[in-house]
Structure 1
């Protein structure tokens, strides 16, 4: 199996899945609150719209159980093909959905159902994409490989926000609300076909194939996960909560916060988000590379500490001027959070053995995602009561980060202590062939 195609397959599908998922987040702030959840009070419309946004996050644990079961029973490849179809089909149908003015209450009802299907699909995609990369990684480069599918988040969001920005600039506001917003969702169909073709050309991961050949496939992965590795599941949930809340704010709710409470234009908010995500495209692989030298834990703790210290300054300075808003957005999202996120796939997956790795990794991560996905509801209520208070919003972020920081301090350095098995012949079959990966393979072998 050619390692470059494997990495491209893990990245391509991840990009498209996150493109679809974050399209909804952008449209929630810009379109859905008006077209699907009309109300005389704009705040109520936003609250209801973000409730459906959160529903997508709430559905992700269900997806992690369904697709985690499949990934640990029938294989990573087949499961990832299904998650793509689920996500792409839901997004395409959102682009065709009539509005509240056209079909009444059925419009928001169907929209919520499609959002739930998106969440279920994404609940299975993330863990599988990570394992597709890390279970094919040569010794000493797992951190770098594991960071590649993480690029799907910024690339998908950049593609999604760019598409909205481009269409918004080419249409009047009336045209944008009438039909322009639909085009990015409809374009999903083309992207999904491309990703399916790419993933169809790869083989099963060596780790799963070894489990299958040895007859070590468990009957019910979710039960085995909580029987033998429940502590690791709780670790993943706690490790993800702190940066997860801040991430949802910086990548989704910031569009509402910046336009409604800081007085910036929609285009300014979208541009700040796009630049931050473009920065992440550089930060993520660099920090994944570094994690193979100094460990995931060191980077994770360092990132959490910086986010904790900058929580209140972010909310103070973001409202001072457009330039400060851009600087703080890039620093918090594009650099610090990206450094944390670059390690998460590898860090979390190294806590689980191969026979339940898909399930354990996915369930822990997606339960945390379900919790933080309702952050926008809390923040809207906070903003109504206290305005854009740096102390209220910053204090909220610090509380979550403190929980994750404590757990991180008591988590093992998985670069040295890992549940990944060495697969005989993998290093030889996938010997690095470019200078970057060649240098990485000089690292000491990861011990079981």
Structure 2
């Protein structure tokens, strides 16, 4: 099978999954706080709306257990087909929901339920997309291969944000709130059909094929993961927490922070976010490739140190004018965080053996995601109490980064010591990567 097709299948599904997920995040402040959670105090409406945003993150560990079990028992490919259907179906149905004005409390209840299903599906998608790439990777370029599905985050976010912005520019405010916001959600059905077609044409990964043929599949992956690999799970959780809070801020909450507390227009805030994401598209594969030569751990530590040092300056300077917002979004999101994120899929997956790799990778990552997903609720309360204080917001970020930095120092250098067995690389070369 052509390696390029495998990478494209990994990336395509990832883009669409994150398109759906971040589409909701963008719509939270623009639409849902008004149409589904009306309140006389806009801050309360926003707080409640972001609670539903966090609910999607909270549901991701559930999905990691469900789909991790399936991925380690029946295969990576079949599991990834199901996550696509779950994610796309939820987004499509959100586009059909009645509003609070039409059905009262039933509207936000249905929205939260669908958001939870979104989170469950995404909880299984990320780990599977990473493994689809890394378990096909020839030895020596696993970092590059593992960085490709990570491109789904900036591409999906830009697509989700752009779709809402484009519809908003083509409609009046009244039309946008009445029906315009629904179009990007309904369009996800078309994208899901396309991704399913792409993924249906690939084979199962070599690592899983070997486990299946040798009869070494785990009976209950989640139990075996915590029995034999619990340290790796907690390593992943801790390593993700530090950059995770900053990631959620830089890629979603910054829109609210910039418009509500710094006085920027929505167009300026979205432009800054787009600049950061565009930079990531270049940075992620470049750093992924570099990690195959100098190691994932070295890059990860360097990224965390830079993020720690620039936390307070970031919050200080973005309030000084649009040009500073653009520069710092490009630097913090597009370079520093992108360098960290580009290595995460490969770095984390290398901590687990093949028989529980889907479960271990997904559970650790998604537990951390569930924690950081409630960041917007915390920041809304902080902003209401302290305003856009650089020391309050910067100090919050620094505390999380410090935890990750300490854990990273004691983490193994997976470029040298990896749970991807040599025999898998041999199996891979002999049986699967004939082009």
Alignment of 1:425-444 (within 5 A): 425-427=427-429
TM-score of the superposition, structure 2-length normalised?
A: 0.98
CA–CA distance in 1 between the matches of 2:203 and 2:79?
A: 13
CA–CA distance in 1 between the matches of 2:253 and 2:427?
A: 47
Counterpart position of 2:254: 254
Counterpart position of 1:391: 391
* SS of residue in 2 equivalent to 1:20: helix
Counterpart position of 1:108: 108
RMSD: 1.0
* SS of residue in 2 equivalent to 1:352: coil
- Relative to 1, partners in 2 of residues 1:45 and 1:67: Cα closer, same or farther, differing over 3 Å? same
CA–CA distance in 2 between the matches of 1:91 and 1:124?
A: 16
Please, which moves more after superposition, 357-366 or 269-278?
A: 269-278
Counterpart position of 2:55: 55
Cα distance, 1:205 vs. partner?
A: 0.3
CA–CA distance in 1 between the matches of 2:103 and 2:291?
A: 52
Please, which moves more after superposition, 275-284 or 398-407?
A: 275-284
Whether contact under 8 Å (2:206, 2:432) holds in the other structure is: no
Whether contact under 8 Å (2:207, 2:428) holds in the other structure is: no
CA–CA distance in 1 between the matches of 2:434 and 2:371?
A: 39
Counterpart position of 2:125: 125
Whether contact under 8 Å (1:280, 1:333) holds in the other structure is: yes
- The superposition leaves residues 115-171 of structure 1 with CA deviations (integer Å, 9 ceiling, x where unpaired) of 000000000000000000000000100000000000000000011111111111111
CA–CA distance in 2 between the matches of 1:425 and 1:192?
A: 32
Counterpart position of 1:170: 170
Consecutive unaligned residues of structure 1, counting only runs of 5 or more, are: 434-448
Please, which moves more after superposition, 13-22 or 414-423?
A: 414-423
Whether contact under 8 Å (1:88, 1:189) holds in the other structure is: yes
Whether contact under 8 Å (2:234, 2:364) holds in the other structure is: yes
CA–CA distance in 1 between the matches of 2:325 and 2:219?
A: 51
Counterpart position of 2:326: 326
Matched, 1:234 2:234: yes
Consecutive unaligned residues of structure 2, counting only runs of 5 or more, are: none
Alignment of 1:353-364 (within 5 A): 353-364=353-364
CA–CA distance in 2 between the matches of 1:220 and 1:413?
A: 28
Cα distance, 1:431 vs. partner?
A: 6.2
TM-score of the superposition, structure 1-length normalised?
A: 0.96
- The superposition leaves residues 311-347 of structure 1 with CA deviations (integer Å, 9 ceiling, x where unpaired) of 0000000000000011011110011000000000000
* SS of residue in 2 equivalent to 1:139: coil
Matched, 1:414 2:410: no
Alignment of 1:138-287 (within 5 A): 138-287=138-287
* SS of residue in 1 equivalent to 2:95: helix
Counterpart position of 1:297: 297
CA–CA distance in 2 between the matches of 1:154 and 1:66?
A: 26
Counterpart position of 1:444: none
CA–CA distance in 1 between the matches of 2:261 and 2:12?
A: 36
CA–CA distance in 2 between the matches of 1:382 and 1:158?
A: 27
Whether contact under 8 Å (1:29, 1:46) holds in the other structure is: yes
